[in-house]
Amino acid sequence: MKKLWLIFAQTTTVGLAVWFLLTLLKPGWIPKQMADVVTLREAPAVEAPVHLPGNISYREAVRHAMPSVVNIYTSKEIKKRRHPLLDDPLFRRFFGDRFENSESQRTSSLGSGVIVSEQGYIVTNNHVVASADEIQVALSDGRTTTAIVVGADPETDLAVIKIDLPNLPAITFGQVEKLNVGDVVLAIGNPFGVGQTVTMGIVSALGRTNLGINPFENFIQTDAAINPGNSGGALVDNAGNLVGINSAIYSQTGSAVGIGFAIPASTVKSVMEQIIKDGAVTRGWIGVDTQDLTPELAASFNLAEGTEGVLINGVVRGGPADRGGVKPGDVLVAVNGEAIHDFNGMLNLVANQKPGQEASIKVLRGGKPQEYKVKIGKRPPLASDPGEE
């Protein structure tokens, strides 16, 4: 028996070693059904930013990243409201059908995107491709092709489209958690349709929220010039690795004023993988309307100084929280043991819960802690009230 066990252990060890060598040296030999859905490139972790020797130049970073950034052209048909006079028999008698074709027109728009996988997946902003009838993608090497929409997530303003071309230059994902205020970043895109353009700036803030742009916000703020057409383009570090997708600007004129916002690459990767796998992003929901707990509100509820959480203003009738026993006026302080500090923290914490699973909800009611079991529901698309979760 001991001899048989020794033979089995040796065979298993040899098999694992062969499998490791195949995955390392000959990944193409592995059956496709065993491979990942999508292959991404990721930069190795580094403790310090990359410094280029000699004269400061970012040409190597641009050379590395620019081929992965594409120009996106979309078109769609817009239905115009039909004037009631066109349905008048007398009017039609004199003018006939000459106005029949004036009820619709085609509009076009432009944006940018980033090739994230050699399999043809491209990440861009949802607002770039939303409702488009046709999507054309132009690569930096001169190739053009049509694209299909794999899926979109309006709540983060991200979308994934796919093209079918060989030898696609996929971008390398950077270590966005290593990004700091003051780091140099480059924005690559197609502003105003003039063609691929690179601008430079620094990270001026991290974790920007409460901007009213998207329900889920965690923006990288940069002063790199971002203009119309840059949407969906790449924000890269000084090594050319992707750290964000350019999404919006703060401007009263529509042009760059030195405040641009990019969606972090970590969020991009998470949303993209869900879209590729399931066609959409699924988030948790408990059905409560909340607001941040200010010191004044805490004092009015006789809560201890320094109490953190969110005040529940309303509970959706028949929703998960309502069925679990949560009531308006409760102060939500923790979900599954994780403390809640503000509304955005609560929003993300609840959204990360898997629908159908049971969660422990801790609240303060009349200043006393209470705990309820709530079965997490599926978040409805684009809740009308930004304070609803």
- Distance from chain centroid for Cα 378: 18
Q: What is the DSSP letter of 388?
A: B
Q: What is the 3-state secondary structure (H, E, C) of 209-261?
A: CCCCCCCCCCEEEECCCCCCCCCCCEEEECCCCEEEEEEEECCCCCCCCCCEE
- What Cα–Cα distance (Å) separates residue 372 from each residue in 135, 287, 302, 327, 361? 48, 14, 22, 11, 5
> What value does the mean pLDDT of the chain take?
83
Q: What is the pLDDT of residues 308-358, one digit of tens each?
A: 899 999 999 999 999 999 999 999 999 999 999 888 889 889 998 999 999
Instruction: Give CA–CA dist 240/268, Å, rounded.
Output: 17
Hey, which residues does 221 pair with through a beta bridge?
205, 261
Considering 93-102, 104-113, 117-126, 285-294, the range whose residues carry the highest mean pLDDT is 117-126
Catalytic residues: 127, 157, 231
Residue 99 has pLDDT above 70, yes or no: no
Q: What is the pLDDT of residues 222-240, one digit of tens each?
A: 999 888 889 999 999 999 9
Name the CA radius of gyration of the chain, rounded. Answer: 26
Mean pLDDT, residues 266-276 = 94
The whole-model pTM stands at: 0.76
CA neighbours closer than 13 Å in the CB half-sphere of residue 239: 18
- What Cα–Cα distance (Å) separates residue 143 from each residue in 71, 129, 138, 256? 11, 20, 6, 29
Residue 249 has pLDDT above 50, yes or no: yes
Q: What is the pLDDT of residues 125-171, one digit of tens each?
A: 999 999 888 999 999 999 999 999 999 999 999 999 999 999 999 99
Q: Which of 175, 164, 178, 186 has the alpha carbon at shortest distance from 63? A: 186
pLDDT band at 33 (very low <50, low <70, confident <90, very high): very low
Residue count (the chain): 389
Mean pLDDT, residues 185-208 = 91
pLDDT band at 100 (very low <50, low <70, confident <90, very high): low
- What Cα–Cα distance (Å) separates residue 325 from each residue in 160, 316, 317, 331, 364? 39, 12, 11, 13, 13
Residue 365 has pLDDT above 60, yes or no: yes
